[in-house]
């Protein structure tokens, strides 16, 4: 069990293993809730939830519909190109 202290400014440092396990980087914001068991910190979602209707306009492909085989081939080519760069 890790421990921490409250600073004179009211700050608490979360131990590195906990930050690393949750992939929390500096600047992550948390909601703070007072519960009967103690204080509960929950990371805030960085963006509002989006709906497909709100973002579908950014998928502006204009052309003939692609078959599943064509899409699979394009994905495989992209994976191969990305892998070959490493």
- Of 32, 57, 30, the closest CA to residue 46 belongs to 30
Instruction: For residue 73, give every residue at least 6 positions away whose Cβ sits within 8 Å of its Cβ, in sequence order, or none.
Output: none
Q: In the chain, where are the structural domains located? A: 52-85
pLDDT for the residue 5: 92
pLDDT in tens, 2-30: 889 999 999 999 999 999 999 999 999 99
pTM listed for this prediction = 0.48
Cα separation values, 61 from 17, 32, 52, 66, Å: 44, 43, 16, 10
Residue 31 CA, chain-centre distance (Å), reads 17
pLDDT in tens, 23-67: 999 999 999 999 999 999 999 987 777 788 777 766 667 788 889
Q: Which whole number is the average pLDDT over 58-86?
A: 85
């Amino acid at each position: 069990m890790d421990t921490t202290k409250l600073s004179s400014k009211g700050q608490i440092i979360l131990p590195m293993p906990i930050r690393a396990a949750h992939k929390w980087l500096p600047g992550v914001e948390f909601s703070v809730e007072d519960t009967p068991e103690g204080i509960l910190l929950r990371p805030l979602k960085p963006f509002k939830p989006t709906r497909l209707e709100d973002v579908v306009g950014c998928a502006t492909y204009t052309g003939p519909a692609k078959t599943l085989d064509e899409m699979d081939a394009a994905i495989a080519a992209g994976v191969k190109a990305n892998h070959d760069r490493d």
